[in-house]
Amino acid sequence: MAHSSGDPESAGTAPSDPAPSDPAPSDRASSDNTPSDDTSSAAAPADRAAPADVAPSRTTHGEAVGGQVGGTRRLRTVRQDGTPVYRHEQPLSMPAVTVTRFGSSTPAGPAGHGTSAPPDHRHAHDFLVLTYVERDAGAMEINGTSRSLRTGEVHALLPGQVVTPAAAAAPADGSAWSVSFTPDAVPALASVSPLTWTGHPLLALFAPDATPVLVPEQDRDRWSRQLAELTAELAAPERLGAREAVASLLTRLLIDAARLAPPQPDTRDALVERVFDRIEETFREPISATDVAATLGYTPGHLTTLMRERTGRPLLEWITERRLTEVRRMLRETDLPLGVVAARTGLRDASYLVRRFRSRYGVTPQRWREAQTR
């Protein structure tokens, strides 16, 4: 695949990108060229525990933990209320998928592979999480609402939701699987606008008002086997076809979960829909959060607050997410130079695209593009 020699990166190295200071709320809401409060430099320190983001309960390091296989989590930013937000960091050779097994004496992967403790603190993430409970596994809080983790249940978490492990200890024999992933790990979702993710049939369980579902007892062994198979593929990325197998197994898991989801009433928020429509119409232009807010008759600060309250993510982050989804699509499907990609996605220039992409995904666009063609 041909690339322009004018792209501002060489051999996977991007220009230096110092970590931005956390802007004031008004700046954060109004500046299109300033990272949102859920965006930070790729130089942010790694999460020491590399936790899974749906924790059955508060545990100590190494207690009631099976293991973690796949990518890791890296601290992306810390919100003004002190809540850390994590992003995926994945080997380029594999889709952005991580499996964590809780409460099992059998490691999720080969002995010693990826063992870690679940987080014991309030946190959020910028990826999707699906959790299957094999045996009662305690509880957690989602956006302040307590949620028990009961045998056979499947729970789904959206990006931006705040997760707090429950204070009570999980049962000694409790166990659960947690699968965290980004939508582009699923081929059918790779080019779908993030503004419509929750309306996609494969993500039926991730609808904003969806509740946990129960796997029929006769299907529970199959769920455990599929999760074990997904884990085995993630643990052996050098295996022929591992990348395709992971995408296929994750897709099958989402299909099974979606088939369990009951029909949902149309509870779309009218304001959120108006904001999303406006972003979809204009994200290819150099618009800012201020521009979107003004068009809809709001101040940027007020609209940013409303979007966070109603979607878990601020206004500017939705604009950025839409742009970077299109950037990834163009990197994957075309050989256009970065300058052209930047111009067609509302970003300032190629250098700015590199900084934003690396801050968001922990890798330069060029390296990411090359990995998609291997």
Contact (Cβ atoms closer than 8 angstroms) between residue 327 and residue 353? yes
Handedness of CA 289, 24, 47, 52 (dihedral sign): negative
pLDDT recorded at residue 73? 78
What are the boundaries of each domain within the chain? 25-30+268-372, 65-260
Instruction: Using 50 as the pLDDT threshold, list the residues of the chain that sit under it.
Output: 1-66, 106-118
pLDDT recorded at residue 339? 95
Strands 124-125 and 84-89: parallel
CA 143 – CA 124 distance, rounded (Å): 10
Identical fold for domains 25-30+268-372 and 65-260, yes or no, is no
Q: Work out the end-to-end distance of the chain between its first and last CA atoms, rounded to an integer number of angstroms.
A: 11
Total Cβ atoms within 10 A of residue 96: 22
Structure confidence by residue, pLDDT tens digits, 125-147: 889 999 999 999 888 899 888 89
**What fold characterizes domain 25-30+268-372?**
Arc Repressor Mutant, subunit A (1.10.10)
Structure confidence by residue, pLDDT tens digits, 26-56: 334 444 443 333 333 333 333 333 333 433 3
Name 81's Cβ contacts closer than 8 Å, sequence gap at least 6: none
pLDDT recorded at residue 191? 81
The DSSP 8-state label assigned to residue 46 in this structure reads: B
Q: Whole-model pTM? A: 0.73
pLDDT recorded at residue 119? 58
Name 19's Cβ contacts closer than 8 Å, sequence gap at least 6: 40, 41, 43, 44
- Within 13 A of 218's CA, how many CA atoms are on the CB side? 0
* The domain over range 65-260 is classified in CATH as 1.10.260: no
pLDDT recorded at residue 374? 65
- Within 13 A of 156's CA, how many CA atoms are on the CB side? 23
pLDDT recorded at residue 335? 94
